[in-house]
Amino acid sequence: MKITPSLLACLLFQAAIAQAESGVSDGRIVIGQSVGLTGPVAAVAQDITAGFAAYVHHVNKRGGINGRQLQLQTLDDGFAPARSGENGRVLEKQAFLLAAPLGTPHTAELMKATAAEGMPVMCPFTGAERLRAAHNRLLFHVRASYKEEIAKMVEQLTTLGIRRIALFHQNDSFGEEGLEHLDGALRQHGLKLAARATYERGSVDVSAAVQTLSAADPQAVVMFAVTRPAAELVRRMQEADRYPQFLTISTNANDDFIKALGDRKRGVGNTQVAPFPWNSSMPLVKEYQQAMRETGKQQFSFNSLEAYLCGKVIGEGLRRTARPLTRARFIEVLESMGRFDSGGFEVAYSPSSHAGSRHVDLTVIGGNGGFIR
């Protein structure tokens, strides 16, 4: 058979179609996201999406990546894990990869739904060991783990001479992980847990916890809890004239938590796994702030900066991946990337580690509601 120019062009086109991944065309790359835009974490989810959208805007305004524009396709899961899985099954046919899911079981459901297609899942907003203990080639983190966050809390508290440390946690597997990490961190310093109090998932009834903790009179309380119960505990403890140092994890470092604390916010501590969003001397933060403003967002936050950082990591991986762009090639590129400087903040991957970053910082909330380093 004679190969004419027109036949050759047709064969090449068919080969390109056969090699094409979902969510990839000559001019576009679709990034999928499933997150709780409605429901109990809506404020945090909307913050995350705003940060990622700011990155997409920043890249597209400057010509895209290797001639392709990015498109963010976000589906609401209402913070229900089952809906996350359903969204994953939809997005695996429409997007190249998944980015910035919020929640541990939600991320697990997404991965279960999309693993057969080899779909990368980038930057989950969770530090759970459940997603880290066993290496998964499809999952890439950019944040430190909860274990590392709690270790930082204990290190800081013991440096200040605080030894009676209690725990307030959700009464489920999420909370049990906090207990395990705090027990381990305290043992490293020759200490034992001063007290332990719980609340039920979906509830803000902290009455029993207040009684338990008040009786133990700890110097500090680590709150491995979601926003509303954590804020309620601080309020009720202070109403009972108990003023230990309260510390909670990075997922509560948001305006929703500060508003819930009301006039009890001063001095409450948070661990942070992203850079300080108001430090415009850092090139990453300066770029992020500009991109947020360009998309009409004037408020900065740790959550939206972490999502922007997630976009930067994805963008760098896409930029380094040769055509044809496939999920397998993208994963290989990330694993060979080594240390990537996103603008003053490094993220690192290898074939054996997708941890990304172990950066943990500490802040306290000031009287005006701002975070202080």
Q: What is the pLDDT of residues 203-235, one digit of tens each?
A: 999 999 999 999 999 999 999 999 999 999 999
Q: What gap in Å lies between CA 207 and CA 213, rounded to an integer?
A: 10
Write the DSSP string, 195-229: -EEEE-TT----HHHHHHHHHH--SEEEEES-HHH
Q: Where in the chain do CATH 3.40.50.2300 domains reside?
A: 19-144+280-356, 146-272
Residues of the chain with pLDDT under 70: 1-20
pLDDT of residue 14: 41
Is residue 244 classed as helix, strand or coil in its secondary structure? coil
pLDDT of residue 201: 87
How far the first Cα of the chain sits from its last, in Å, is: 72
> Residue 322 gets which letter from DSSP?
P
Q: Which CATH number fits domain 146-272: 3.40.50.2300, 1.10.10.10, 3.10.129.10, 3.40.50.1260?
A: 3.40.50.2300
Q: What gap in Å lies between CA 147 and CA 314, rounded to an integer?
A: 25
Residue 98: CB atoms within 10 A of its CB come to 28
pLDDT of residue 337: 93
Sole residue written with tokens 């499933």:
34
Based on the number of CB atoms within 10 Å of its own CB, is 81 exposed (0-12), middle (13-18) or buried (19 or more)?
middle
* CATH fold of 19-144+280-356: Rossmann fold (3.40.50)
287's CB contacts (< 8 A; 6+ apart) are 58, 343
pLDDT of residue 3: 60
Cα-Cα-Cα-Cα dihedral sign, residues 143, 148, 150, 153: negative
**Six token digits for residue 347:** 């993220």
Residue 21: CB atoms within 10 A of its CB come to 21
Residue of 109, 90, 115, 110 lying closest to 99 (CA atoms)? 110
The DSSP element (H or E) to which 309 belongs, if any, is: helix 302-320
